[in-house]
Amino acid sequence: MSFVQQTQLAQSFSEPCGPQVLFTHYHRDACMFASPGQTLLAHGVAATLPLVMSGSPAALAGHAAAFLRQASEAGHAGWLIGAIPFLPGAAAHLFIPEHVELAGGGRAALVGGPRPVRTVAARSEPAEAVYEQNVSRALERIADGKLQKVVLSRSLHIQAELDQAELLQTLASRNPLGYTYAIPLPTANGERRSLIGASPELLLARHGNRVISNPLAGSIPHSSDPAEDRQRAENLLRSPKDLHEHALVVEAVAEALRPYCTDLLVPEAPSLLSTPTMWHLSTEVTGTLRDPATTSLELALALHPTPAVGGYPTAEAREFIQAFEGFDRGFFTGLVGWCNAQGDGEWAVTIRCRSRRDSRR
């Protein structure tokens, strides 16, 4: 079946409006990606990038670019939206929507505050004792010089009753400088799934010839006491351990972007970024794109995964995670975002998220 046959519904765009309107229009089958400067709400699926075409990161970027060109030639505005998993070569979920609504910034005006969530059951994977054992293993590898950094995680399986649209608006209102997203995933075993979250971390944005990456690494929770909170922030800026981890990430980002940029600005020291719950060490790396044919997705895949979510050296850290973490991350610590036919786009690191399963049809 040709692309034109697959996409008989013409993609249309609404006039720019406020983000509050788009959050009102959101429903659980829609797709949303809200960044500090723009909110995108997409409806329907005109065509999906075939999973067999995913392959390596380079192959995925090439197939996606060709897919977007076909969309443009078929009369569509050409937005590719979706999620990419943590592991290279795992099946990505990228699609062309039927209809897109856009809004500017201003999410600070959103009103959040969901009803209390009733949790039915919860369990951790791996269990706490296994996680502690994995941390000990990782420290041994670091002491032996086999790893400089490895980022271990745990997943929490929760059964709860909540309103998805309400949750999404609350996430966006709590952190208007973050990246709030809801991506419908392919149905599995009769269950409808959605990837929902609010990431503080921009992996890559491309707007025209301007390229931006904002890696975060090194964090500490806020304190409710203002004096203690200020002290924590100052300590984070002086922490040798956190500064070393942050430098590993920034160096990896800069090394990956240099071949694509005619100039690259890398600040000498990180700054502090505050979210509602955490302080983060933050560095904004900016550059000028060398080749206008290079898309935001290609750049993002060249960076992914950074040491902020995997570790360093990258391959060795990933092998350690696969061997000991105890669960398949799937889209967690992957990428979520969009790329248009001009190559512009925004891709956030898929953290602070959940993969929602809903057996209702």
* Residue 188 to residue 3: CA distance in whole angstroms: 25
* Residue of 15, 101, 140, 201 with catalytic role: 201
Contact 191, 358 (CB under 8 A): yes
| DSSP labels, 60-90 | HHHHHHHHHHHHHHTT---EEEEEE-SSTTS
- Fill in the amino acid letter for 345: G
Q: Which two tokens stand for residue 327?
A: 């669960």
Q: Which residues contact 241 (CB under 8 A, 6 or more apart)?
A: 218
Q: Which two tokens stand for residue 21?
A: 């309107």
CA distance readout (Å), 200 to 185, 210, 216, 316, 347: 22, 20, 8, 26, 11
Could you confirm whether 319 is annotated as catalytic? no
Could you confirm whether 149 is annotated as catalytic? yes
- The residue among 93, 69, 72, 87 whose CA lies nearest residue 181 is 93
Strand pairing of 12-13 and 99-103?
Answer: parallel
Radius of gyration of the chain (CA): 20
**Burial environment of residue 276 by CB neighbours within 10 A (0 to 12, 13 to 18, 19 or more):** exposed
**Burial environment of residue 119 by CB neighbours within 10 A (0 to 12, 13 to 18, 19 or more):** exposed
- DSSP annotation of 292: T
* Residue of 149, 298, 325, 346 with catalytic role: 149
**Dihedral of CA 13/19/24/29: which sign?**
positive
Active-site positions read 149, 201
